[in-house]
C-alpha cells in the first residue's frame, strides 16, 4: 500500500493523471550513432536549436550508457530491458534471432509489445530495432513481409521514397543511389540539395507528422516510435545544414592517440568507416588522419546532427499542434556513441566512454522546467521506467530499474544504484559515478582497465596497474554485471 501511495504521488508530480482513460501517450525518437553532441550537452559548436529548446523543459541524462555499442544489439537490450547473456545478444541481428518467427512465450517481450497488450495502439516508423524499416531481409534484396518485432506493432511504416527499400534508404545518397548498389565506391559524407526530403529522414519526419494527426483522433493511448538514420554513416545531409558551420573552427579530439597502458585489442582499425572506399584518407591505429580531414568529417557529422535536429523539431511542433503535448511522454535516445577520431578510431564498437555514452532526454507532460541529471543510468532502465510512467505492469524480469523518481528533481532518489554495464570485444565494463572498470576475456594484456573520470574524463590513461586495491574493490560491482556472455 505504501508503494502504491508513493507511485501515485510520483505520477502526480510528473503531471501524469491517474485515470485509466487518460494513460499517457509515448513518442519515442531513436537516433542512430548519436553521440551526446547537442548544445544542451555542452557542445556549443553544434547547432541543435530544436532539441536544446526541448531540453529546457526535459530531463537531460548526462550519464546514460548503452548495453552494447552496436545498433541492433543496443536496441535489443533497450527493448527487452535485458543485458546480453549469449553471443547472439551482441550481434546486430539480436532481435531477429531472439524474437522473429517465435511464438509469444518463447521469446523476450519488448516493452512495445507489453504496451500493446495493455491497450496501446503501437506504430513504428523507420529504424526502431535493427532493420531500417522493421522487416527482415538482406541489404540488397527486396523488402520481405517478415517483421523483426512480431506482436509489437499495429503498424510498421516507412517511406523509402526513390530508394525503394529501407536498407537502400539507410545508406542513401541524394541521387537515389546507395552504398551497397555502388559497391562501397562512395565517400563517407555528402552535402546534398537543400530540401529536407533529399534524404530519407525528411520523409520519415513527414510521415510521422501525418501519423500524429491521425493518432490525435483516436480514443486510445498510443506509442509512436520514430527512428532516424542520421548521423549514421554516410554523414550525408542537405547543404544548408553544412553551411551552419565554419569548418576551420571545428575542434579536434581531446583523445588524439591510443590511451596509455592499453592494448590495441581494446580498439579497432575503423573497418566500417573504411567500407566507404572513396574516402579521402584511410584511418588506422598507426596514426591519425590529417587535421583537415578530421575537421571535414566532424563537420559532416555535425551537419547530420543539425539535419536530424530539424526533423525532431517538426515532430515536436506537430505534437503541440494536434493537442497531444499535454498527455505525451517524449523520449529522445541515441542507440550508442561514436569515436570521431578519438583514440585513433572512427566508429563505434568499443567499450570506451566515446562509444557507450549516448543522448537520453525524457519529458513527461507535467514538466515545465528541465534540468540535467548526473546520475548513472543504463538504457536497460528505460523499459521499467516507461511502464511505471504509463501505469502498466512489467510481466517479465528486466535487468533495468525504473528511474522515474530521478525525473522529479536533481537530488531525487539518493539511493539510486548509479551503475551501468556494457559488453563487447570480449569485454565487460562497469561505469560508476567516478570510475570505469573494464575486464577483457582475451590473451592480449593488459586485460583490466581502470579510468578515473574525476582526473581523466576522456579515458586517456589506464591506471589499473597502479591501483590494485581500487580494482579489487570495484571488481565486486563488476561481477554483478557478468552475465556469462563470454563463457568465463
Length of the chain: 488
Q: How far is CA 39 from the centre of its chain?
A: 17
Output the nine-digit C-alpha cell for 240: 544548408
And the C-alpha cell for 66? 548503452
**CB count, 10 Å around CB of 246?**
10
SS3 of the chain: CHHHHHHHHHHHHCCCCCCHHHCCEEEEEEECCCCCCCHHHCCCCCCCHHHHHHHCCCEEEEEEECCCCCHHHHHHHHHHCCCCCCHHHHCCCHHHHHHCCCCCCCCCCCHHHHHHHCCCEEEEEECCCCCCCCECCCCCCCCCCCECCCCCCCEEECCCHHHCCHHHHHCECCCCCECCCCCCCCCCEEEECCCHHHCHHHHHHHHHHHHHHHHHCCCCCEEEEEEECCCCCCEEEEHHHHCCCCHHHCCCCCCCCCCECCCHHHCCCCHHHHCCCCCCCCCECCECCCHHHHHHHHHHHHHHHHHHHHHHHHHHHHHHHCCCHHHEEEEEEECCCCEECHHHCEECCCCCHHHHECCEEEECCCCCCCEEEEEEEEHHHHHHHHHHHCCCCCCCCCCCCCCHHHHCCCCCCCCCCCCEEEEECCEEEEECCCEEEEEECCCCCCCEEEEECCCCCCCCECCHHHCHHHHHHHHHHHHHCCCCCCCC
Query: Which residues make Cβ contacts (< 8 Å) with residue 297, sequence separation at least 6?
Result: 188, 189, 235, 289, 340, 341, 346
Contacts of 2 (CB under 8 A, 6+ apart): none
Which amino acids are annotated catalytic? Answer: 71, 130
Amino acid at each position: 500500500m505504501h508503494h502504491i501511495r508513493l507511485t501515485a504521488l510520483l505520477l502526480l508530480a510528473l503531471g501524469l493523471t491517474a485515470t485509466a482513460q487518460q494513460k499517457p501517450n509515448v513518442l519515442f525518437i531513436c537516433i542512430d550513432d548519436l553521440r551526446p553532441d547537442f548544445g544542451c550537452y555542452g557542445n556549443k559548436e553544434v547547432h541543435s536549436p530544436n532539441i536544446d529548446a526541448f531540453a529546457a523543459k526535459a530531463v537531460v541524462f548526462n550519464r546514460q550508457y548503452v548495453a552494447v555499442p552496436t545498433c541492433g544489439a543496443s536496441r535489443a537490450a533497450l527493448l527487452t530491458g535485458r543485458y546480453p547473456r549469449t553471443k547472439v545478444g551482441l550481434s546486430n541481428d539480436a532481435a531477429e534471432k531472439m524474437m522473429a518467427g517465435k511464438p509469444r512465450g518463447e521469446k523476450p517481450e519488448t516493452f512495445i509489445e507489453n504496451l500493446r497488450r495493455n491497450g496501446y495502439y503501437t506504430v513504428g516508423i523507420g529504424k526502431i530495432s535493427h532493420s531500417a524499416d522493421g522487416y527482415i531481409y538482406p541489404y540488397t534484396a527486396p523488402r520481405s513481409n517478415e517483421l523483426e518485432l512480431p506482436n509489437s506493432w499495429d503498424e510498421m511504416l516507412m517511406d523509402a521514397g526513390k530508394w525503394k527499400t529501407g536498407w537502400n534508404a539507410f545508406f542513401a545518397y541524394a541521387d537515389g543511389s546507395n552504398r551497397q548498389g555502388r559497391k562501397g565506391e562512395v565517400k563517407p559524407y555528402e552535402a546534398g540539395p537543400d530540401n529536407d526530403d533529399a534524404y530519407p529522414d525528411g520523409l520519415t519526419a513527414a510521415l510521422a507528422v501525418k501519423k500524429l494527426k491521425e493518432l490525435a483522433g483516436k480514443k486510445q493511448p498510443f506509442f509512436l516510435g520514430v527512428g532516424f538514420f542520421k548521423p549514421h554513416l554516410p554523414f550525408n545531409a542537405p547543404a544548408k545544414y553544412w553551411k551552419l558551420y565554419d569548418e576551420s573552427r571545428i575542434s579536434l579530439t581531446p583523445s588524439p592517440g591510443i590511451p596509455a597502458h592499453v592494448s590495441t585489442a581494446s580498439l579497432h582499425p575503423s573497418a566500417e568507416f573504411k567500407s566507404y572506399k572513396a574516402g579521402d584518407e584511410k584511418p588506422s591505429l598507426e596514426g591519425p588522419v590529417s587535421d583537415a580531414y578530421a575537421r571535414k568529417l566532424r563537420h559532416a557529422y555535425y551537419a547530420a546532427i543539425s539535419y536530424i535536429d530539424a526533423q525532431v523539431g517538426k515532430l515536436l511542433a506537430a505534437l503541440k499542434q494536434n493537442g497531444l503535448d499535454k498527455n505525451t511522454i517524449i523520449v529522445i535516445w541515441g542507440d550508442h556513441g561514436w569515436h570521431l577520431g578519438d583514440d585513433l578510431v572512427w566508429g563505434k564498437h568499443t567499450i570506451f566512454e566515446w562509444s557507450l555514452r549516448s543522448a537520453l532526454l525524457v519529458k513527461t507532460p507535467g514538466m515545465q522546467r528541465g534540468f540535467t541529471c548526473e546520475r548513472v543510468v543504463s538504457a536497460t532502465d528505460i523499459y521499467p521506467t516507461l511502464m511505471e510512467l504509463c501505469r502498466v505492469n512489467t510481466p517479465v524480469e528486466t535487468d533495468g530499474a525504473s528511474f522515474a523518481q530521478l525525473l522529479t528533481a536533481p537530488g531525487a532518489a539518493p539511493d539510486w544504484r548509479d551503475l551501468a554495464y556494457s559488453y563487447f570485444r570480449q569485454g565487460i565494463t562497469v561505469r560508476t559515478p567516478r570510475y570505469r572498470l573494464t575486464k577483457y576475456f582475451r590473451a592480449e594484456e593488459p586485460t583490466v582497465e581502470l579510468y578515473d573520470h574525476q582526473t581523466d574524463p576522456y579515458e586517456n590513461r589506464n591506471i589499473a596497474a597502479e591501483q590494485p586495491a581500487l580494482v579489487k574493490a570495484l571488481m565486486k560491482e563488476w561481477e554483478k554485471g557478468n552475465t556469462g556472455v563470454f563463457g568465463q
